[in-house]
Amino acid sequence: MTVRLFGRRQMLAGAGTVLAAPALAQAPAGAIRIGEINSYTAQPAFLLPYRNGWTLALEQVNAAGGINGRRLETLHRDDGGKPEDAVRLAGELANAEKVALLAGGFLSNIGLAISDYANQNRMLYVASEPLTDALVWSRGNRYTFRLRASTYMQSAMLVEQAAKLPAKRWACVAPNYEYGQSAVRWFKELLTRHRPDVSFVAEQFPALGRIDAGATVQALAAANPEAIFNVTFGADLTNFVRQGLTRGLFEQRRVVSLLTGEPEYLDPLQDEAPENWIVTGYPWEQVNTPEHAAFRDAYRKRWNDHPRLGSVVGHDTVMAIAAMLRKATAVESEAMVDAMAGLRFGSVFGPVEFRAIDHQSTMGAFVGRTVLKNGRGTMADWHYADGKDYLPPDETVRQLRPQS
């Protein structure tokens, strides 16, 4: 929390070495500036750990000598959850602060708004979190790249597991906006392809952040499905789980659930975390690969807290940008975009590539089932699903993405 007590200017460099940020719109000699925009006040639960991960990575890069001797700096901006403000801030960062590239984004529509700005103004935009498929496919453009595994990829990971279940009658519940709708659409389409015998018997689309959990649970139960696909997250998920448990919705039914294994959403549920759901997520305490263990230790040491998935996303966005800058021939948009396409870098989860074909990274997610351990939820029987295995064939991608 201490982070938030300081003004952004004081902590602008992250490295803590810049004591007085110049009021002039001039980057200190040699530093490379990243303009980062996110919905900090609107989505603090995900984005505070994200910012911590970001800061940690920035410090690591600079401690290791920066980029060819140049330090890396970040200017963070809060868009308050409004795409029109994000566009204005993108302009501010680009024109007034002369940042080299844009990054960030949590909500899909904000990611798209920044992406369109970047395309119009020929600037590189590294989207960290927005999950919408449109960002790299239907509305993809030369200047936009995305780190996080998309809605399609995560749905595909779950479909693989769901297809193994005997269940034939499925029900879906998802927040009523683009993310929820496309997750349900992909899940239905892909599952039906694997298992022509399944049928979808009910759908609920509660408004985001305002689920009427009791009624939603009852409506799902009324259709008597054998399994449920859940896309709700955050406060909606908590309320859904509470009502579902007391009303017995999850008894004798399998639940397949997007993002639920992420500590951001699992931790608040405490000892009421649902058991035996098949989820995508991040079992931070169990992943012991050298890369991840080093990250976890560094994060703990720096913040005295355990990493959330947001921390990984923030950290790896910086690492991807650093790798790109080392590869790029010049700190200039076209050169950076060329370096970004096909870029390989070592993420906390292992090697990742930003595909040249659609600018989507191959960062994956952990798939497993939820269990209760020591009074809190975590994942078991998990494996790392590499993103590259869950993307459609290249011909399909070319059809989905406008080719220029």
Residues between 242 and 301 that touch other proteins (CB under 8 A): 242-243, 246-248, 264, 267-270, 272
Contact yes or no for 348/312 (Cβ under 8 A): yes
Q: Which is nearer to other proteins, 79 or 386 (CB)?
A: 79
Q: Which is nearer to other proteins, 113 or 343 (CB)?
A: 113
3-class secondary-structure state, position 387: helix
Contact yes or no for 208/177 (Cβ under 8 A): yes
Contact segment (CB under 8 A) with other proteins among 13-21, 55-63, 208-216, 371-379 equals 208-216
Q: Does 388 bind other proteins (CB under 8 A)?
A: no
CA distance 130 to 359: 14
Q: Does 206 bind other proteins (CB under 8 A)?
A: yes
Out of 28, 63, 122, 215, the only residue in the binding site for other proteins (CB under 8 A) is 215
Residues between 52 and 111 that touch other proteins (CB under 8 A): 77-78, 80, 82-85, 87-89, 91-92, 94-96, 108-109
3-class secondary-structure state, position 66: coil
Q: Which is nearer to other proteins, 279 or 320 (CB)?
A: 279
Q: Does 313 bind other proteins (CB under 8 A)?
A: no
Q: Does 199 bind other proteins (CB under 8 A)?
A: no
User: Which residues, in sequence order, are CB contacts of 154 under 8 Å at separation 6+?
Assistant: 131, 183, 258, 259, 280, 365, 390
- Report in angstroms how near the CB of residue 232 gets to other proteins at its nearest: 12
Residues between 20 and 59 that touch other proteins (CB under 8 A): 25, 40-41, 44-45, 47-48
CA distance 367 to 132: 20
Q: Does 185 bind other proteins (CB under 8 A)?
A: no
The sign of the CA dihedral 230, 234, 236, 239 is positive
Contact yes or no for 387/361 (Cβ under 8 A): yes
User: Which residues, in sequence order, are CB contacts of 280 under 8 Å at separation 6+?
Assistant: 149, 154, 157, 158, 258, 259, 260, 261, 262, 365, 366, 367, 385
- Report in angstroms how near the CB of residue 383 gets to other proteins at its nearest: 27
